[in-house]
Amino acid sequence: MRSCSAILFLILSVQVVFAEKAPVETPADKLMKKGIAKGKKGDLDGAISYFNQVIADDSTFAQAYFNRGYAKSLKENPKGSIADFTRAIEIDSTYINAYFNRGLAYAEDNDNRAAIADFTTVIRLDPKNADAYYYRGVAHYFLVEFDIAMTNFDAAIAADSTYADAYYNKALIKSRLGDLKQAIALYTKAIGYDPNDANYYNNRGNVKYALEDYKGAVGDFNRALHLDPDMARVYCNRGNAFFYLNDRIGACENWQMALDMDFELAKQMIDRYCQAPK
């Protein structure tokens, strides 16, 4: 019986916050502040309107393009944000945050080669930038360049030994390559630095399940559901583990909970193992 969910690859949105302007205020600076305030309150259209006014007044205001690009990225408009980050970079070729955020936008737009180029520029400008190594590794992962991805995750950890997501993504690669014991060690390391991410426990539980450590898997699935009770796939995974622990009732109850949350894959298990004999 397969796991109810493929091991997920985690990519978090950690884009740089709206860039503030220097203390000496011009009329454009005041508009920038109003735009930033709108953006922080979630009014992205209002923020963009103010940034448009700044740009109309001063077409060389790099931070206005950056902030407008950031607002567009929050509106899930990667192409629009790429255009604005590019303009900010044309004005200031050392604008690290613009390269970094453009890299994220390229990744969101499935242009991983362009993302890698931008993260590489960030690393050239700031060799100890753990996030740039991490996201460059993510881009290489999606290009199925696992060795290079691992090298980048290792560099992220060298820059920040507590970088939980880097350990987690190394574990994903180890899992995909079949090195399950090493994957567990890496998931455990990630959990040590961030014990409140339900995905870490679910994925470690999946690996324990694959190693036929069903009790250990149940323990991890329990922890994942304690942290996030709405993860339907984890109920399905826990049902599978209960099944192999000869707890048919527990298995069917968990599969039913997953199905009640519209996780349709659980129906296959219910139909096969939980129907009363006719």
Span 117-128, mean pLDDT? 98
Q: pLDDT-derived band of residue 73, with 50, 70 and 90 as boundaries?
A: very high
237-268 residue pLDDT tens: 999 999 999 999 999 999 999 999 999 999 99
Contact 57, 99 (CB under 8 A): no
Residue 27 to residue 76: CA distance in whole angstroms: 29
Q: pLDDT-derived band of residue 6, with 50, 70 and 90 as boundaries?
A: very low
Q: Which two tokens stand for residue 257?
A: 């909970």
State if pTM tops 0.95.
no
User: E strand or H helix at 15, and its extent?
Assistant: none
Q: pLDDT-derived band of residue 11, with 50, 70 and 90 as boundaries?
A: very low
* Secondary structure percentages of the chain, helix, strand, coil, to 5: 70, 0, 30
Residue 57 to residue 134: CA distance in whole angstroms: 37
Write the Ramachandran bin of 135: left for phi over 0, alpha for psi from -120 to 50, otherwise beta: alpha
- The four Cα atoms 133, 134, 140, 141 give a dihedral, to 10 degrees, of 160
pLDDT given at position 17:
57
Span 26-36, mean pLDDT? 90
* pLDDT higher than threshold 70 for residue 163: yes
Mean pLDDT rounded to a whole number for the chain: 92
The residue among 217 and 21 whose pLDDT is bigger is 217
